[in-house]
Amino acid sequence: MFDRVRLRNLEEFEDPRMVPLGGHLFGACFFLMKLLPARFMLERAVERGQLGPGGIICESSSGTFALALAMLSVQNDYRLLIVGDWALDRNLRRRLFQLGVELDIVETAHPTGGFQLARLERLQDHLRNKPGSYWPAQYSNHDNPTAYSKIAARFIDVVGPVDCLVGSVGSGGSMCGTARYLRLLFPELKVVGIDTHNSVLFGQPNALRHVSGLGGGIIPANVDHTQFDEIHWLSAAEIISAAHDLHKKHGLFMGPTSGAAFRVARWWSDNHPGKRVVAIFPDEGHRYADTVFDVAWVAANIPNWTRTRSEEPITVPSPGVKMTDWARYPWGRRGLSEVLGDGLPPG
Ligand SMILES: Cc1ncc(COP(=O)(O)O)c(C=O)c1O
């Protein structure tokens, strides 16, 4: 039988702390944002009979979704298999092992779909070999964006009418889900998504990327392009230095995708005085202490780290242009094919 109480053991960690950052800008600081969609997806799976007591969960993830599933699985006696890649750092691997996760690390990227597609292909092998196992499929499962109603409600509780929502886009669940709910009340809401150079999500050609958590080599079904008014692309160096700034200026020790949201939201807020802006900060910085927050590691691994950072974005004529610095494109709530025409990246 569905043990709702146990699945909700970690519910107190789901709500973000809403931190005022000056002007009308708020940071929604999550301990681990993915706990919310992970719990919601598992609850729905149990209700639909897709996941039973002692069941096996298989998922592809190299980051926070894996950790969220691991925390929930150990509380609820599920077995969990994660297919990951290089982005699964040593600290996170240790935590997953401690939580009893079976890990399969993909070493080679798919020739066109990168590591993300290589992971998904490996996952299919595991699903075939473990009949009856449940695949949450965060990139395409509608329960992922649907989980965010309570986050939209929390933003309204604290901020009142929200004028602008800013955040990094990975699976698309958090930004598209929260935006949909907020727009039921505030149809004029501006939604600003953040991607990174060489990510296909909003039309960049696929190539090597140096940060995880946002962007990707394939376009997730949960990215609803028509939700976005504006897209920004940041380099890994810009994202990491923004995470350092968030720590130095506000004492908030958060991950790189939070840094990205801070950089863009601060700029948007300064350029729209009086508008209430919420930036989504998805996880804390501890996982990145040996990488993003270690300047020796950053200097050795992140291209153009010493280059001077731009104070503001360059507005590009199309999303597919070669980018080296902070770029911005007025997306205008259009679909991907409307913006890119025939030049669609793989989806
Ligand atoms: C740290 C971090 N930030 C942001 C995101 C993007 O969130 P979403 O998948 O809801 O688009 C992810 C996605 O995995 C993440 O791990």
Domains, the chain = 4-33+142-335 (3.40.50.1100), 35-129 (3.40.50.1100)
pLDDT tens series, the chain, 347 aa: 455 667 778 888 999 999 999 999 999 999 999 999 999 999 999 999 999 999 999 999 878 999 999 999 999 999 999 999 988 988 899 999 999 999 999 999 888 878 888 999 999 999 999 999 999 999 999 999 999 999 999 999 999 999 999 999 999 999 999 999 999 999 999 999 999 999 999 999 988 899 989 999 889 999 999 999 999 999 999 999 999 999 999 999 999 999 999 999 999 999 999 999 999 999 999 999 999 999 999 999 999 999 888 899 999 999 999 999 999 999 999 999 999 986 666 55
Per DSSP, helices labelled H in 51-208 are 64-76, 90-98, 114-129, 143-146, 149-159, 173-185
Q: What pLDDT does residue 1 have?
A: 46
Which residue's alpha carbon is at the smallest distance from atom 7 of ligand 1?
Answer: 170
Which residue's alpha carbon is at the smallest distance from atom 9 of ligand 1?
Answer: 171
Give DSSP secondary structure letters for 175-229: HHHHHHHHHHH-TT-EEEEEEETT-GGGTPPP---S--SS--SS--TT--GGG-S
Count of alpha carbons within 13 Å of 87, Cβ hemisphere only?
26
Q: What pLDDT does residue 346 have?
A: 52
Which residue's alpha carbon is at the smallest distance from atom 4 of ligand 1?
Answer: 213
At 224, which amino acid appears? D
Which residue's alpha carbon is at the smallest distance from atom 2 of ligand 1?
Answer: 213
Pocket test residue of 30, 34, 195 for ligand 1, highest count of atoms within 8 A of CB:
34
What's the CA dihedral at 69, 207, 199, 322 to 10 degrees? 160
Pocket test residue of 88, 168, 201 for ligand 1, highest count of atoms within 8 A of CB:
168
The distance between the two most distant Cα atoms of the chain, rounded to a whole number of Å, is 58
What's the CA dihedral at 56, 60, 66, 68 to 10 degrees? -70
Pocket test residue of 148, 169, 257 for ligand 1, highest count of atoms within 8 A of CB:
257
Distance from Cα 1 to the centre of ligand 1, integer Å: 31
* Closest CA relative to residue 281, chosen from 262, 264, 268: 262
Residues 6+ apart with CB under 8 A from 310: 238, 325, 326
Ligand 1 binding site (Cβ under 6 Å of any ligand atom): 63-65, 168-175, 213-214, 255, 257, 282-283
